[in-house]
Amino acid sequence: MIDGRERILGRLERVADVRLKDMAHALLLRSPTARGTIRRLDAEVARSMPGVIAVVTADELRTEGLDAIRFGTIVADQPILAVDRVRYAGEPVAVVVASSLAAARRAVACIELDIDPEPPVADALAALTADAPLVADGRTHNELTRWGYERGDLDAARAAASHHFHGRWTSPVAQVVSLEPHAVTAHWRAPDSLELWTTSQSPSRVAQELARIFELPADHVRLHVPPVGGAFGGKNHAKLEPLVALAARTACRPVRFVNSRAEEFVTITKHAVSVEIDSGIDDDGRIRYRVARVVADGGAYANSSPVIPKAAGSAVLGPYRIDAAGVDAVVAYTNNPPAGSFRGLGVSQAAWAGEQQLDEMAAAVGLAPMEMRRRNLVRDGDRLPNGDLARDPHWLACSEAAVELLEQPAAEAASTAHAGRTRRGRGMATVMKATMSPFRTEVLLSVHADGHAEVRASAVDMGQGARTVLARLAAEALGLSIDAVTVVDPDTALTPFDATSSSSRTTYQHARAIGAAAERLRDEIEELATEVSRGQPLLAYAGGRVTAPDGSFDRSLGELLRAGGRGELVAKGAFVNEPEHDPRSGAPELTSHWHQGAVAVEVSVDIETGAVRVVRVGGAAWAGHIVSVDGARLQNEGNVIFGLGPALFEEVALVDGVPASTSLRDYRIPSLRDLPHELRTVALEAAAADHHPEGLGESLIPAVAPAIANAVADAVGVRIRDLPLHPERVLAAIDAASVGP
Amino acid sequence: MVSNRGSGLNRFVRAETIEQVRDALAADPGLRPIGGATAVVSWHRDGAAPGRWLTTDSVAGLRVLEVGADGTLMIGAAATLRQIETDPRVRAGWPLLAEAIGHIAGPAVRGAATLGGSLALGAASPDPAAALCALGASVELLDGPRLPVAELPLLSGPGAGFIVRARVPSAAHGRGAYERFTVRGASDQPFVIVAARITAGTPRVVAWAGQDRPTSLHAVAQAITRGEPWLTALESAIADLALPDSDRGSTAFRRRILRVLARRAIEAVLATHEAQA
């Protein structure tokens, strides 16, 4: 990484490190209950305390005419502060701005808040019943969005199937646990000019949202996003920015706010999802039909939930040839903390169900899991379950590669501890994830008189190495050394529009945009060269130099610009990932491209305790053109490690909508001790040199949990349908199946 | 009606001698001793009220880690867990203790956390206590009796007592086994611990499953000594244990894991003991 040294030495400036003159500190008073009416909110004592600069409540929102304002990139339904009612435990009710955090803390403690609590709508299935209390304003039901499709003759397919299957799988609420919590610093440079530093993954769209909320011209809102300490989707869309901006405006001071770790648990979560699938196969194991119903818990406000039905619904049936297929996917409002993007965006929850049932089907007709996939995975020209053409499919190659990694000899002999009480098993899963389409990305690419090049893009580096990738893409496109390329961090005054740094799109989108910009820049370079050389023909640009074939002209980029009296040459490039159109119907396909991956695992199950240990993992993802070999490997390995936690122990328990714990002492994520003995991954690369790069950020994570569950089933003959696979759950399943030594 | 709650500040008193410790505790019964204070941060994040703390890291003689002429290991209350874990004498002579301590958090935390603080935390840090119990260790309190670890009172509140040192008998000719089970990943806090040891032919079996102090399963040890069916004694002992609720698993599951780990630990020490014999 180009900034690896700074990262390791802790020298990267983060949002919380930003220091502004007269900067004040904000703390929030949050609702302790999931649902209720605010009977009394008295901040008078707090306002008069030493160090307190301002207290903002719903009363101040009303005074400023902001009480009716709602924000949300897709569905604008979230108030800046709770007004009259609270809809989830943790919802901000008031914000205190003070000269110090200690003063703010003392003041928050003195705000008197009385809420008449009501029984919360705590479950998505219950929320969708006809008599469920309504969660959101202005709606007659709790359904937020729905997506689905039907294709093929389901009756005929059912008749053709000789084996029928039904199952229901559940995934719980989970937490992202980024290293850096959400943080925002807001400063009003003038009454109509707002500047923010934020950990957002979507600076361009958040800036647009803030301009709308505060009725500002678009170029009067400026967002800076320094490298972020992890996001994984949890920092997508506006979260705390409107609130901190309002606090800064009220206080007439720059204001800094950083979520505590406990507050992270109530800012954004991973959707709890239940999936039911009915499927049928023939005696040869060919899938005749699959029909799925997906129900997701979106929590109290929309955030990115509107896309969940499509994200999960498009992946649940897997990349298989199916005669007849149908999906009905819905996300519901509840009084739980808002759910949003989480690495994999609904696909993990979908694959948890779909890939387990696939193995159940395989076992029923005596097929090995890989053979089941070999018989059913789409090939080039086939139709995916929703009817889209399978363009450039590599799922079979990924599956075979993952299995092959596991077939290689183990690096060390298996432990013989408690050999009589443990069972080994292997399992696999193959997953598909649509990239959100269409999304727009713009970049500015420039070369300068000192010979360096600069990339300006609103791509957020959140640990995935975006800075390095952009530098490498620009270096490759311009034939320069990566050391000659500077990347400007997202700053909406300097970097052009990018929809979001999510959906594993940064490399894919920016490769195209930088390529387009580089092409225009090359034209400008050649034009300048013609001018400087006074019309010399056959000049060519390569490797950072403009040369004539006979050697009579040879200038570096810097020399060329200086000779031409230019300080810089700038070109803009843009790319929109428009999906293809179906050749039969002409309708746009669901996505511009699919992320493709497969994971194979070997587990050891202690049949006396239910403990599952992941021993070996093989993972293969389709990468297209690999920009950074190290980066690709780290993404793949990170996918697998990230997936272990939700598979084995991650779960936020909610009691009447309130998290039972908001501490990392109780919510554990994988540590070094949880890593498999062996973790091997491969990024499959295109043969064609001009193939575009594919995103790798989410290609393997959705496959981890179902692969482990399939391996557990192989080891002990029990199928577990609820996550996580904690020991008591596994042991109960073993007991039920009467598995003995 | 639901309301918010308050907060405040901590105060620290520093002692450099045992006499200063004695004087400070006498002057302020609400003062609580702390070692590396690793738990205090955690408490405050949980919303615990601030307190008055007596720091012990500078008290002369409290960091001692030495082996007496009779082979007894003496560990001062302010000795850090990392100090104990990495001491070659401990690793050679009392490997059960080194192993137990090695499970706690990570090296950075163990470099600050002390034995005294760990013992005072009770159920929040059971590993050293479980191992010390199995090793037959006792703890000296300031101006108080010397007590077996399993009989230490709860030291979590003000005025509860000040640990000076732990005494661990010579562990020559002994072998131990340490079984530990976690639910939420390998670095999670323990759910069940069993430490078993046979020293000079005398077995000790210690079980922890959420209690404030580990429990010595005397009846099981006696059954082993007498050559009687110890599994039966084990079942009975586990059934009689009063176990607290846990968000990591049901009480029934906890007893079951305890049964499995105890059986494995005892089988391991018996096998080693027989091999030695």
User: CB-CB: which of A109, A608, A674 is closest to B186?
Assistant: A674
Name the one residue in this structure whose structure tokens are 């005294």. Answer: B116
Determine phi and psi for A213, rounding to 5 degrees. Answer: -60, -45
E strands in B122-249: 138-141, 146-148, 163-168, 174-181, 192-199, 202-208, 215-216
pLDDT score of B4? 36
Q: How far is B235 from chain A (nearest CA, A)?
A: 15
User: CB-CB: which of B3, B184, B186 is closest to A113?
Assistant: B3
User: CB-CB: which of A108, A115, A726 is closest to B183?
Assistant: A726
Distance CA B259, CA B245 (A): 17
Which residues does chain A have within 8 Å of residue B7's beta carbon, measured at their own beta carbons? 105-106, 109
Question: Residues B216-238: pLDDT tens digits?
Answer: 999 999 999 999 999 999 999 99
User: CB-CB: which of B7, B46, B260 is closest to A105?
Assistant: B7
Pairwise CB contact (< 8 Å): A112 & B45: no
Alpha carbon A16 to chain centroid, angstroms: 22
pLDDT score of A415? 62
Q: Three-class SS of residue A393?
A: coil
Q: Which residues of B make CB contacts under 8 Å with A? A: 1-7, 42, 45-46, 181, 183-189, 247, 249-250, 253, 256-257, 260, 264
Pairwise CB contact (< 8 Å): B187 & A611: no
Cα–Cα distances (Å) from A578 to A305, A596, A621, in that order, read 22, 19, 23
- Best of A175, A605, A726, A735 to disrupt the B interface (most B CBs within 10 Å) is A726
A39 touches chain B (CB under 8 A): yes
Interface pTM (ipTM) of the complex? 0.92
CB A670, CB A646: distance < 8 Å: no
Q: Is B15 left (phi over 0), alpha (psi -120 to 50) or beta?
A: beta
User: CB-CB: which of A663, A670, A731 is closest to B46?
Assistant: A663
Determine phi and psi for A704, rounding to 5 degrees. Answer: -65, -55
Distance CA A610, CA A421 (A): 10
A·B CB contacts under 8 A = 82
User: CB-CB: which of B5, B184, B250 is closest to A668?
Assistant: B184
Residues 288-347 of A with CB under 8 A from B: none
pLDDT score of B160? 65
Percent share of chain B, pLDDT over 90:
66
pLDDT score of B115? 95
Which residues does chain A have within 8 Å of residue B2's beta carbon, measured at their own beta carbons? 32-33, 36, 113-115, 117
Which residues does chain A have within 8 Å of residue B247's beta carbon, measured at their own beta carbons? 653, 660-661, 666
Residue A416: other Cβ atoms inside 10 A: 8
Which residues does chain B have within 8 Å of residue A643's beta carbon, measured at their own beta carbons? none
Residues 2-31 of A with CB under 8 A from B: 29
Distance CA A222, CA A194 (A): 6
User: CB-CB: which of A109, A262, A731 is closest to B7?
Assistant: A109
Query: Residue B9 above 80 pLDDT?
Result: no
Q: How far is B16 from chain A (nearest CA, A)?
A: 31
pLDDT score of B1? 25
Name the β-bridge partners of A278: A166, A291
Residues B150-172, mean pLDDT to the nearest whole number: 79
Q: Three-class SS of residue A73?
A: coil
Pairwise CB contact (< 8 Å): A727 & B249: yes
Residues 674-703 of A with CB under 8 A from B: 674
Count the helices and strands in chain A (H runs, E runs): 19, 30
Residues B133-144, mean pLDDT to the nearest whole number: 92
Characterize the bridge pairing of strands B52-55 and B11-14.
parallel
User: CB-CB: which of A418, A669, A728 is closest to B253?
Assistant: A728
DSSP A490-549: PBTTTS--BS-S-TT-HHHHHHHHHHHHHHHHHHHHHHHHHHHTTS-SS-EEETTEEE-T
Distance CA A254, CA A240 (A): 15
Determine phi and psi for B195, rounding to 5 degrees. Answer: -120, 130
Q: Identify residue A149 by its one-letter amino acid code.
A: Y
Distance CA B176, CA A303 (A): 55
Name the one residue in this structure whose structure tokens are 């590993």. Answer: B127
Question: Residues B111-134: pLDDT tens digits?
Answer: 999 999 999 888 888 999 999 999
Pairwise CB contact (< 8 Å): B5 & A609: no
Q: Identify residue A90 by its one-letter amino acid code.
A: G
- A124-149 burial, b if ≥16 CB within 10 A, otherwise e? beebbeeebeebbeeeeebbbbebbb
A113 touches chain B (CB under 8 A): yes
CB A282, CB A665: distance < 8 Å: no
pLDDT score of B2? 33
Angle at B33 between CA B32 and CA B37, to 5 degrees: 105
Residue B105: other Cβ atoms inside 10 A: 15
Task: Give pLDDT < 70 ranges for chain A.
Answer: 412-418, 739-741
Q: Three-class SS of residue A30?
A: strand
Which residues does chain A have within 8 Å of residue B181's beta carbon, measured at their own beta carbons? 609, 611, 727
Q: Angle between the A727-736 and A701-716 helix axes, to the nearest 10 degrees?
A: 40
pTM over 0.90? The answer is yes
Query: Residue B6 above 50 pLDDT?
Result: no
Query: Residue B48 above 80 pLDDT?
Result: no
Distance CA A38, CA A83 (A): 8
- Best of B1, B4, B194 to disrupt the A interface (most A CBs within 10 Å) is B4
Which residues does chain B have within 8 Å of residue A735's beta carbon, measured at their own beta carbons? none
